[in-house]
Amino acid sequence: MNPLAPALAMTLLGVLALAGCGEEKQPSDSITPPAVGECRVLTPEDLKTTVNDTPTVPCGQQHTAETFFVGTFSDDADRDTIDEQVLGAQAFEKCQPVFTEFVGGDDSLVMRSTLTWAWYRPSERGWKDGARWLRCDVVGGGEQSDGFAPLPTTVEGVLLGRPDDRWMVCAKGADVDTAVRLPCAEKHNWRAVATVVLGRADDKYPGDKEVEAKTRAFCSDQVGAYLGYPVADYDFGFTWFGEGEWEAGNRRSICWAQTKK
């Protein structure tokens, strides 16, 4: 017997084992969908991709994301090819209404909150195996945030009544365009006080100039009303969104009032 044979055999088994580990399936590879109510520790980087394998954690522990909706992509999604634009439109249609109801606000309040949501799909491997699930997570922040705010055990209903300032969006800076967005519980000099509706669901995008002009006019009135129509001049700002957001379903702009806080 070759005295090196056992050692060679063990080495081969080790190589095979390592190869097997490399093929280990991730949660996004599975045809089994995630579950509503799961919690995770996500970061703003996780909003830049639509595949996520962050492990779940108990919701009683510190976490930054909660799954509020799990569904299935419709047959409009090609059976073989992953089309992010098609899937993104479906995710918005399915998740946005549930998100609004879940956190307890109306469209305007939700848009002025620090709470946003992200959607995730199966990996390419999972998709080829037939997985078509959709997962939507609520997070306390956005893609440009330095980090996400820790969430309570559940975010359900946090915007009901008069929401805590830690869930409402304010800003700090010389003007709204360059100001840093932050929770209103932190020191700020701008507060998002209203939103304006610029079109119906079936309206075509009217163009940048018209959207900006309408937003400016509406926000001047909205902020004036919020401040009690002061006699002296008052400063206000506004945020309008382009054609991409319009096509995704957003028909609103945000109005900002300057504050002394």
Question: What pLDDT digit, counting tens, does each position of 81-96 carry?
Answer: 899 988 998 999 999 9
pLDDT value of residue 163: 94
Amino acid at 191: R
Q: Which two tokens stand for residue 26?
A: 């991730």
> What are the DSSP E strand ranges found in 146-251?
169-172, 180-183, 190-197, 236-239
Question: What pLDDT digit, counting tens, does each position of 151-165 carry?
Answer: 999 999 999 999 999
Q: How many residues does the chain have?
A: 261
CA nearest 253: which of 180, 162, 192? 192
Q: Residue 216: in which H helix or E strand, if any?
A: helix 208-226
**What is the number of alpha carbons within 13 Å of residue 179 lying toward its C-beta?**
25
Domain boundaries of the chain, sorted by first residue: 27-167, 169-261
pLDDT value of residue 160: 95
Question: What pLDDT digit, counting tens, does each position of 96-115 carry?
Answer: 999 999 999 999 999 999 99
Q: Residue 250: how many CB atoms within 10 A of its CB?
A: 18
* Nearby residues of 204 by Cβ (< 8 Å), 6 or more positions away: none
Query: At residue 230, does pLDDT exceed 90?
Result: no
Question: What pLDDT digit, counting tens, does each position of 113-157 carry?
Answer: 999 999 999 999 999 999 999 999 999 998 878 899 999 999 999
- Report the percent of the chain where pLDDT is more than 70: 89
CA distance 69 to 80: 24
> What are the DSSP E strand ranges found in the chain?
39-40, 56-57, 65-72, 115-120, 133-140, 169-172, 180-183, 190-197, 236-239, 252-258
pLDDT value of residue 65: 98
pLDDT value of residue 19: 43
pLDDT value of residue 144: 78
CA distance 114 to 147: 12
- Please state the pTM of the whole predicted model: 0.82
What rounded mean pLDDT belongs to the chain? 89
pLDDT value of residue 152: 97
- Given a contact cutoff of 8 angstroms between Cβ atoms, the answer to whether 175 and 184 are in contact is no
pLDDT value of residue 76: 64
pLDDT value of residue 12: 40
* Nearby residues of 34 by Cβ (< 8 Å), 6 or more positions away: 27, 67, 70, 133, 135
pLDDT value of residue 22: 54
CA nearest 37: which of 70, 73, 83, 78? 70
Q: Residue 52: in which H helix or E strand, if any?
A: none
Question: What pLDDT digit, counting tens, does each position of 2-45 carry?
Answer: 444 444 344 444 443 444 455 688 999 999 999 999 999 999 99
- Report the percent of the chain where pLDDT is more than 90: 75
